[in-house]
Every structure is written in structure tokens, then in C-alpha cells.
Amino acid sequence: MGRGPLAPYQEDMHPDTAARPTPRPPTSPPPTKARLLGVDAARGVALLGMMAVHSFSETTETGDPSVTQLVAGGRSAALFAVLAGVAIAFMTRRRQVTRGPSGRAAVATLLTRAGVIGAIGVVGLGWIDSETAIAVILPAYAVMFLLAIPLVFLSTRAVLVTGAAVALVVPFVSQLVRAGLPEPSGDNIGFVSLVDDPVGVVLELLLTGSYPALTWMAYIAVGLGVGRLTLSSARVAGILIGLGAALAAAGSALSWALLGPLGGAARLTAQSGLDPATVTEVLTLGPDGAVPPGDVWWLATATPHSGTPLDLAATIGSSLAVLGAFLLLGHLPGGVRRVSDALQAPLVAAGSMTLTLYVVHAAFMGSDFSQGDSVPEYVGQALLLFAAAFLWRRRFSRGPLEALAGTLATRAAVAAGREDGVPEPTRPPVRPPSRPAPPPARTDDAPTGPIRGLPVPPGPPLPRHLDPFAAAPRRTVPGAAPGWPPPVSGRR
């Protein structure tokens, strides 16, 4: 079975207001918000890719990578992770968080969401067999939300620089450190394993597991920085497409050059100490989360889930390109856009409740009902889940688990944002500036001069053409009715 990337929790752009899913407003969203539905549509595509990776084999009968593996392997997981960073940007109102009550509220939000996601992954899905079903990523996602707390206090530029630094440095450090660490169990994290071996669980979540959170923070940081951009701008969407395509092509091309013409693959086969078949499998299909420790040439690969700088660059690039493409669809001309919105509606609906759909899909894949590697099973799952999401979306704005996590996070944020039991004061509404008051009427006994407060001695009145306070003479039009033209009004 394929390794299982997650559907991350998708944050609504609106604050949570009720403990149950909130009914959708009857009015249609404004154009700016409608363009941001591209985020949900991209998340829906990632959900389809994740389900395909879980449902089909990684290889063909000849041992070559399958079409599913070539298209969605590693990329759907990366897209989910980048969009999770975008969701964190939405949670923090798409701006840098400051210290004080608002900072405490943001911390409480991320802590609560991490707790909910982790509990669902450990208690709700920890029973799934990772060998025959999928590797549940929710516990690792909970750790990523915790590690994202310091990032929300950084500027957008610092966040993006941090993401680039993580992608370049952490894989080297990870390979060096993992040489002295025990091998991961490979099992999904459940309540029993969390109690029996807490140190081993922490090491798997951070470094040695299928989804090492320290390495994957590159996705979260990039998504957080991108989420703070003006996503409703066609120019930003175009930049995401161009930059993403360039990164994806550069990462794959450089890996091919290092492993092929420069002899990296031959060196690994001869000197790594591993079986040649194992080396070929890692270089073709990718390892389980991170490349083997030892030879630095392992870091030249860009295969799925290898966690190398080139793999991170290629998958971050593909994620940005997909997100930019769906955002750009919001700028199509009116008639074409209406057709595009109708076609995207199922993707948007599923993308708005990926946590709920992921849990349902994972539970099915771990049950005895799933046979695996079956086109009818995959198509049936996709149709059923997307149809259910579409019908749910017509009534509610969020899925059941999304509403639960959002409500708990909102209550925690409200409680953390108080000072001495008093809610954080809200900024008064901004009122338009009033028109300046007319100058005070002149009096002959105490006129004011250019220096305020100093009286001007009375004197003879100024001639009309020199007196700034004198009314302008009205023009007359020969032959016009009396009173024409009318006096000039102050409103233009």
C-alpha cells in the first residue's frame, strides 16, 4: 500500500461562532472571498491524490513506479502540508502576531487545534495497521502545529527565509543525527505505544518516522508565508505558478544530474553497504520518511518522502504551482468563471472539510471492507465522499470535525486573550473624517492674525479684492432668469 499523507485541518476564514456546524449565509460571498475558494479546490485535489496513493500499488507488474506513484506520490502529501501552513495564516488573520492578548490567543488556538488533531490521530485512528493500510499522519501534524507557534510571531520575510533554511539545513542534520538513533517501529502511533515508549514516539514524530515534523516544517513555513500574501491578486497567482514550476523542475533536474551523469547512484550501489535491490528501490520509489544515514549522496535523491533538499524543493514547487493555478481560475471572465466555479464545486466542498473526510477514508482503508488496488473501490470512495461533502456544504460552512476543532480553539483563544478577567478591548470603528469647520466669522473688534491668539488692531476694512473672507461676487449671465447661476455648493 502507499504511504498515507494527510488531509490537514482547513481553517475557515470566518471566526467560529457555535459548537455545531454553522449554517451557510443565504447571500453569496463577495468576489474576493470567492477567489480564495481556490485554496479549498487545491485541497480537494490533494485529497483525491492522497486517496489514490492509498488505494493503488506503488509499482506495476514489472516493478516500475505506477502512474499513481509518479503523479501523486509525495506531491499530494506536500500539497496538504503547504495548505496547512496557509490555514495557519488564516487562523492568525494573515498577519504577523504581536505579543500580548492577541499573541496569547494565537498560541491557544494552535495548542487547541494540535490537541484535537493529535487526539483524533492517536485515539481515533491509532488502531490502523500501517503495513496493510495507511500511515496516519495526524499525530505528526499535531506536532507541526506546535512547532508553528514561534513562526506566527515572525514577519512574512522571516517566515519564508526560515522555510528555505529548514529545507536546506535540516535534512543534513537529520541524516547526521539519525545515525545514532534507534530504527523507527513504523507502526501508527496509538495510545498504547504512546504510554509504553514515549521517547521512541517523540523521536519518530520529530526525526525518524514516516512524516518527520522537523523536516516537514519547511512545508508549513512556506505555506504560512504564502498565506499572508494577497491571494486574491492575479499577479500573486501567476508568481506562484511560475516560481512553483521552476522549483519543481530544478529539483528534479538537479537530482537526475547528481545521481546519473555525476555518478551518485553508482557510488551508493557500490559503497552504501546496502543490498543493490534496496538501493534501487529507495532511488526509485523513495524511503519511508527520510533517506538512510551515512553516505551524503543519499541527499541527492528527489524521490517521494525522501525528505532531502531536492525533494522538498520539487514538492514545494509543485504545491505552489497547483495553488496558483486554482487561484488564477478566480480571475477568468464572467461566463467562463461561472462554468469553472460549477466544475470546482465538488472540489471546494471536499476541500472545506478534509479533516472529516480523511478520518472517514482512513477508517475505511483500515477496515476489512477495503481490498486495495481496485479502481471501483477508489472511484466509489471518491464519489461517495465528495457527494456527501457537496450536500453538507449546501447547509453548513464546515465539516463536523472542523466545527468541533474550531469551536474549542475559539473558546481557548477568548479565554487566553483576557487580561485579569477582562476581555481584550476591541478597536473602535473607524469613522470617516468629518468636513472641516468653516472659519470663524470675523468681528471688527477682535480679528485674529496669522499667529493664533494674538489680536490684530482694528483698522479700516480691506478692499473686497484683498479680503480673503469676503464673499465672491456672483456672475451673471445676460438674459438669464434672476438668481442664475445658483451659488456654488461645497459638495462636488
At 329-386, the pLDDT tens digits run 999 998 899 999 999 999 999 999 999 999 999 999 999 899 888 899 999 999 999 9
For residue 124, CA distances in Å to 120, 184, 201, 356 come to 5, 22, 17, 12
CA-to-CA distance for 363 and 189, rounded, in angstroms?
15
Specify if 379 maps to a domain. yes
Of 432 and 492, more confident: 432
Specify if 189 maps to a domain. yes
| Cell 479700516, residue located | 460
Specify if 409 maps to a domain. yes
CA-to-CA distance for 47 and 355, rounded, in angstroms?
10
pLDDT in tens, 6-27: 333 344 433 333 334 444 444 4
pLDDT in tens, 72-89: 999 999 999 999 999 999
pLDDT exceeds 60 at position 311: yes
pLDDT of residue 461: 53
pLDDT of residue 408: 96
Specify if 19 maps to a domain. no
Specify if 151 maps to a domain. yes
pLDDT of residue 11: 40
Percent of the chain with pLDDT over 70: 78
Number of domains in the chain: 1
Stretch 410-432: mean pLDDT, rounded? Answer: 63
Amino acid at 128: I
pLDDT of residue 431: 56
Give 299's DSSP letter: G
Stretch 111-140: mean pLDDT, rounded? Answer: 94
Specify if 404 maps to a domain. yes
CA-to-CA distance for 393 and 348, rounded, in angstroms?
9
With the C-alpha atoms ordered 473, 478, 484, 486, is the resulting torsion angle positive or negative?
A: negative
Looking at every residue in the chain, the average pLDDT score rounds to 83
pLDDT of residue 36: 79
Q: Model pTM greater than 0.95?
A: no
Of 255 and 478, more confident: 255
Stretch 316-337: mean pLDDT, rounded? Answer: 94
Specify if 440 maps to a domain. no
* Domain housing 161: 36-238+344-416
Specify if 150 maps to a domain. yes
